């Protein structure tokens, strides 16, 4: 299990930042993460300053199996994932990774998050280029070497094949269903942890 923390984990020693990485003004970048049920992952990242848009969906499998019913059967190869569009001049890729490992999920749980069990709930980083892969892999080694968590990180890092958008009723699910018991128990604490650990990165979220 990951250690419950009141302070954020260390920042990556190596990062992709603007303008050092050659980003142009107004440029948008994408990041794709899987960290358990995509409702909670989205509820965190949509509140991060510099994040322009978030979409929940599936990655790791094929188009023919990219739907909630088959993914939940846990044979498709898909993970519930989130595609993040962000402004690298406001928030870096490494900062998104820091939030992913710190408050979004427990990166030491293999093929599960809490009571959600199966490979569709696995911890994964789907990288869109070699630079993202390098930063993510180095950060995992950094956190493991520092023994930030009680157990080794099991997060996989792999190139993004295709991200398949999820069904409309899953988009912004936590915002549309704030009183849902699952949201209250599993996801509200994640947003609270974001507010506590990264107060300078908070932005209000409004349904688009």
Dist CA 42 CA 129 (whole Å)? 22
Dist CA 74 CA 72 (whole Å)? 5
In DSSP notation, 191-205 reads: HHHHHHH-GGGB---
Dist CA 30 CA 57 (whole Å)? 14
Dist CA 120 CA 60 (whole Å)? 9
Dist CA 143 CA 163 (whole Å)? 27
37 catalytically annotated: yes
In the set 37, 66, 82, 174, the catalytic residue is 37
Dist CA 149 CA 137 (whole Å)? 16
Give the residue numbers marked as catalytic: 37
């Amino acid at each position: 299990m990951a250690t419950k923390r009141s302070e954020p984990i260390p920042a990556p020693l190596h990062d992709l930042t603007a303008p050092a990485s050659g980003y142009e003004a107004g440029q948008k970048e994408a990041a794709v993460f899987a960290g358990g049920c995509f409702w909670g992952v989205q509820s965190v990242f949509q509140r991060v300053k510099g994040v322009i848009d978030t979409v929940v969906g599936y990655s790791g499998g094929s188009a023919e199996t990219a739907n909630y019913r088959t993914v939940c059967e846990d044979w498709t190869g898909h993970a519930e994932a989130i595609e993040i569009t962000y402004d690298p001049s406001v928030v870096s890729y490494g900062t998104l990774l820091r939030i992913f490992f710190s408050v979004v999920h427990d990166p030491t749980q293999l093929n599960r998050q809490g009571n959600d069990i199966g490979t569709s709930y696995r911890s994964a980083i789907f990288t869109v280029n070699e630079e993202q892969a390098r930063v993510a892999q180095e950060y995992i080694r950094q956190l493991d070497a520092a023994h930030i968590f009680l157990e080794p990180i099991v997060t996989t890092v792999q190139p993004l094949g295709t991200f398949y958008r999820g069904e409309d009723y899953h988009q912004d699910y936590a915002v549309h269903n704030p009183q849902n018991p699952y949201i209250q128990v599993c996801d509200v604490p994640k947003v609270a942890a974001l507010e506590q650990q990264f107060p300078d990165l908070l932005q209000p979220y409004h349904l688009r």
